[in-house]
């Protein structure tokens, strides 16, 4: 898709979110909503992606990658936001069409975006936009059609008459414009509406009045075009996204005992025949092998990689750690910044003290080691192959336990010193 550029509008404050964080940076399943849109357009092969930023622009720029940001200094409406991309788009002769997305519709699928572009290109329309039929259309722009079903214009909720308000066909907020038609339309719109803003939606009427073809694609999936304007809608989006992630994971042969009470974030990979028990949280990009049992009540945080046939039980928290195959960490443990080998047993209540108040340190536990119940390992420290720690021992920093040896006590000492 070489001749298409995408503009994602992300300058708004999102007042209705009542937040210090710009709306588009709010997370859904561990990933900022804006990133879902960027990833989707990149995956369908569009590499010219612009984001219009404004409210806390610096913060938005810092937190997103893979887009060229253009700053809208004064938030004068969606039409104004597109107008400021004019210079960047017009100077690139290779761009014929412009896909416009709003940063607050993170559930859009690649499929519907592709369908919209295909229809736009095949019909050579000036603009093609996505519509949907909603039983409760409140809050959305309404699509006004003539008696022979031709699109006339889009009317915003605030400006709609009582007759227009009952229309159930809404503007989803996804458009594909011919570049010249877009800027032709934008030149003619005026802020004569209740909000006194330049509405992108008003370009539709400009085009139809000039006899430029405007097409639409209608989606039946009411979930995917949810616009996130409030915390309640953010919660809804989270539910939909979580279900998508879980369905995808189950499709790959993973058992999720209770999908309604299992929380898996984006980018998580789990191999087949692993079973996830309820109230388990698996955060961004964690990787889990096959035939593992995870949970109930386990929390695997970012940077965790788990091998095959591993058992992780209740109230176990793991972060930035690798767990080797067939290792068992069954009850009430904290493991941070550790590399744990194969077939290790981590006893109930083991704590890896990885943070000394200033820095985090590494812990290594080699294959076949046996960590006794209630052991505290103060990092940095290494437990050698097949070594054992006694129940309740505190292995202090840098007091590495040699392979095959046993340590006990506080601070932990080699057991065989006292043995004949
Ligand atoms: C918009 C549409 C409406 C549609 C709905 C779908 C307009 C005028 N209305 O309404 O027809 O049904 O989306 O969700 O487009 N933004 C900027 N700069 C601005 C103003 C807004 O970048 O000056 C961005 C916002 O950050 C947001 C997006 O544009 O990501 C849409 O703005 P928003 O205020 O949420 O529009 P809606 O009222 O939801
Ligand atoms: Ca919105």
Token pair recorded at residue 294? 């995870």
On whether both 27 and 176 belong to a single domain, the answer is: yes
- Residue in 10, 12, 127 to alter for ligand 1 test, most ligand atoms within 8 A of Cβ: 12
Q: CA-CA distance, 403 to 56, in Å (whole number)?
A: 54
On whether both 122 and 205 belong to a single domain, the answer is: yes
Instruction: Name 389's bridge partners.
Output: 371, 407
Q: How confident is the model at residue 417 (pLDDT cuts 50, 70, 90)?
A: low
Does residue 320 have a pLDDT over 70? yes
- Is residue 243 in a domain? no
On whether both 62 and 114 belong to a single domain, the answer is: yes
142 Cα–ligand 2 center, Å: 14
Instruction: Indicate which residue's Cα is closest to atom 35 of ligand 1.
Output: 229
Domain boundary among 159, 194, 218: 218
**Ligand positioned closest to the Cα atom of 191:** 1
On whether both 287 and 413 belong to a single domain, the answer is: yes
The finding on whether 177 has its CB within 6 A of some atom of ligand 1 is: no
On whether both 206 and 120 belong to a single domain, the answer is: yes
- Is residue 119 in a domain? yes
On whether both 288 and 343 belong to a single domain, the answer is: yes
Does residue 1 have a pLDDT over 80? no
**Ligand positioned closest to the Cα atom of 13:** 1
pLDDT of res. 44: 95
Q: What is the CATH number of the domain that holds 330?
A: 2.160.10.10
- Is residue 249 in a domain? no
Q: CA-CA distance, 261 to 283, in Å (whole number)?
A: 14
On whether both 201 and 272 belong to a single domain, the answer is: no
On whether both 55 and 191 belong to a single domain, the answer is: yes
- Is residue 244 in a domain? no
Domain boundary among 168, 198, 218: 218
Query: Which residues are known catalytic residues?
Result: 331
Does residue 391 have a pLDDT over 70? yes
Ligand 1: which atom is nearest the Cα of residue 72? 18
- Number of separate domains in the chain: 2
pLDDT of res. 13: 87
245-250's contacts with Cβ under 8 Å and 24+ in sequence apart are: 245/29
Work out the average pLDDT over 281-308.
98
Work out the average pLDDT over 299-311.
98
On whether both 90 and 205 belong to a single domain, the answer is: yes
Q: How confident is the model at residue 396 (pLDDT cuts 50, 70, 90)?
A: very high
On whether both 15 and 161 belong to a single domain, the answer is: yes
Q: What is the CATH number of the domain that holds 98?
A: 3.90.550.10
Token pair recorded at residue 226? 């949810």
Give me the phi and psi of 179, to 5 degrees please: -60, -45
Instruction: Indicate which residue's Cα is closest to atom 29 of ligand 1.
Output: 9
Ligand 1: which atom is nearest the Cα of residue 170? 12
Domain boundary among 169, 197, 218: 218
Does residue 219 have a pLDDT over 90? no
51 Cα–ligand 2 center, Å: 16
pLDDT in tens, 13-62: 899 999 999 999 999 999 999 999 999 999 999 989 999 999 999 999 99
pLDDT of res. 124: 96
9 Cα–ligand 1 center, Å: 8
pLDDT of res. 220: 80
102 Cα–ligand 1 center, Å: 7
On whether both 179 and 284 belong to a single domain, the answer is: no
- On average, the pLDDT of the chain sits at 96
Q: pTM of the full predicted structure?
A: 0.93
pLDDT of res. 419: 53
On whether both 59 and 146 belong to a single domain, the answer is: yes
Among the listed residues 102, 5, 81, the one whose alpha carbon sits nearest the alpha carbon of residue 45: 5
pLDDT of res. 372: 98
The finding on whether 101 has its CB within 6 A of some atom of ligand 1 is: no
pLDDT in tens, 198-213: 999 999 999 999 999 9
Domain limits for position 385: 254-419
């Amino acid at each position: 898709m070489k001749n298409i550029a995408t503009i994602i509008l992300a300058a708004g404050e999102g007042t209705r979110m009542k937040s210090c964080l710009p709306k588009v940076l709010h997370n859904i399943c561990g990933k900022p909503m804006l990133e879902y849109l960027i990833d989707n357009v990149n995956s369908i092969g569009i590499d010219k992606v612009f984001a219009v930023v404004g409210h806390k622009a610096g913060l938005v720029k810092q937190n997103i990658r893979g887009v060229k940001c253009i700053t809208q200094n004064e938030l004068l409406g969606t039409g104004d936001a597109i107008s400021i991309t004019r210079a960047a788009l017009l100077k690139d002769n290779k761009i014929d069409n412009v896909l416009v997305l709003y940063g607050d519709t993170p559930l859009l699928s690649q499929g519907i975006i592709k369908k919209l572009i295909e229809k736009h290109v095949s019909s050579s329309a000036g603009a093609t936009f996505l519509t949907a039929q909603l039983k409760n259309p409140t809050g959305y722009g309404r699509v006004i059609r003539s008696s022979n079903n031709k699109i006339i214009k889009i009317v915003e909720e605030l400006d709609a008459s009582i007759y227009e308000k009952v229309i159930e066909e809404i503007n989803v907020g996804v458009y594909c414009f011919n570049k010249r038609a877009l800027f032709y339309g934008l030149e003619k719109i005026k802020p004569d509406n209740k909000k006194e803003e330049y509405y992108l939606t008003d370009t539709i009427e400009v085009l139809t009045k000039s006899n430029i073809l405007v097409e639409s694609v209608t989606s039946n999936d009411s979930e995917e075009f949810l616009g996130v304007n409030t915390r309640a809608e953010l919660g809804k989006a989270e539910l939909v996204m979580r279900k998508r992630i879980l369905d995808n994971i189950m499709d790959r042969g993973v058992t999720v005992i209770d999908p309604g009470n299992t929380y898996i974030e984006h980018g998580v990979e789990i191999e087949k025949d692993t079973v996830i028990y309820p109230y388990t949280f698996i955060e961004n990009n964690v990787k889990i092998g096959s035939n593992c049992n995870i949970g109930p009540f386990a929390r695997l945080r970012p940077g965790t990689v788990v091998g095959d046939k591993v058992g992780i039980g209740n109230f176990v928290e793991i972060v930035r750690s690798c767990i080797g195959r067939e290792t068992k960490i069954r009850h009430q443990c904290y493991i941070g910044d550790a590399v744990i080998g194969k077939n290790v047993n981590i006893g109930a209540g083991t704590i890896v003290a990885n943070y000394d108040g200033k820095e985090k340190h590494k812990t290594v536990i080699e294959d076949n080691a046996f960590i006794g119940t209630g052991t505290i390992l103060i990092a940095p420290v290494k437990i050698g192959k097949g070594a054992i720690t006694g129940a309740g021992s505190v292995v202090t920093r840098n007091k590495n336990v040699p392979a095959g040896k046993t340590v006990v006590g506080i601070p932990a000492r080699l057991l065989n010193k006292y043995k004949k």
